[in-house]
Amino acid sequence: MPTFSLSGLYGITDATLMPDTQTMLNACEAAIAGGMKVLQYRDKSNNSALRLDQASALRALCKSHNCIFLINDDVELALSCKADGVHLGQKDGSLTEARQRLGKTAIIGQTCHDRLELAIRAQAEGANYVAFGAFFPSNTKPGASPAPLSLLSTARAQLSVPMVAIGGLSVDNATQVIAAGADMTAVVHALFAAQDIRTRAEQFSRLFRIQAQNH
């Protein structure tokens, strides 16, 4: 398992922005070069052979660059490609069962939307991090219920696990969630739709360094 903490830029793949495996690998490599610390492979298709192929290739890429690699919603795929862990939605099976399947060293995160009580429960069930959002209107999930920035500062006082902010984040607004207590910013379009992905990743990563210097 990678040795660094759960903090910084958290990228999520997108099959539309990355229509083939090589495009996906190139984009993710550029993001890692720019400072991305965590990568989540998210693919909702039913093409299990392609998903395993892509996940295995991304796993190898992340391992060689000491980037944490997680699978969205699919514990069996995480096992098959030897990912560092899995990210679960609220309807994607139990956190306890995922832990039993993946082992105690796996990194397991859970989406908690705009609800602190879900995060408190996830932490109690052994989640390594929780994700809140959407803080801003999102391209990926346009119907997501909005979460107030105050949720992060309230949650920070009650949780010991790292927090991910997600939903419509950009270089321009991410400072707000980082200042409110987010340990990671989860980004899809603002990162992988950028003309220069490495530079965009560097811009996001710089926001965390600035916040650290201010404290």
CATH number for 83: 3.20.20.70
Instruction: Kindly state whether residue 54 falls inside one of the protein's structural domains.
Output: yes
Query: 131 - beta bridge partners?
Result: 111, 164
Per-residue pLDDT of the chain (215 residues; tens, 9 = 90+): 334 579 999 999 999 999 999 999 999 999 999 999 999 999 999 999 999 999 999 999 999 999 999 999 999 999 999 999 999 999 978 999 999 999 999 999 999 999 999 999 999 999 999 999 999 988 777 887 889 999 999 999 999 999 999 999 999 999 999 999 999 999 999 999 999 999 999 999 999 999 988 87
Structural domain total, the chain: 1
Instruction: Kindly state whether residue 109 falls inside one of the protein's structural domains.
Output: yes
- For residue 113, what are the contacts with CB-CB under 8 A and spacing of at least 6? 90, 132, 133, 144, 145, 147
Which domain, by its residues, includes 176?
A: 8-213
Place of tokens 């899809």: 188
Instruction: Kindly state whether residue 2 falls inside one of the protein's structural domains.
Output: no
Whether the CB-CB separation of 61 and 29 falls below 8 Å is answered with: yes
Instruction: Kindly state whether residue 129 falls inside one of the protein's structural domains.
Output: yes
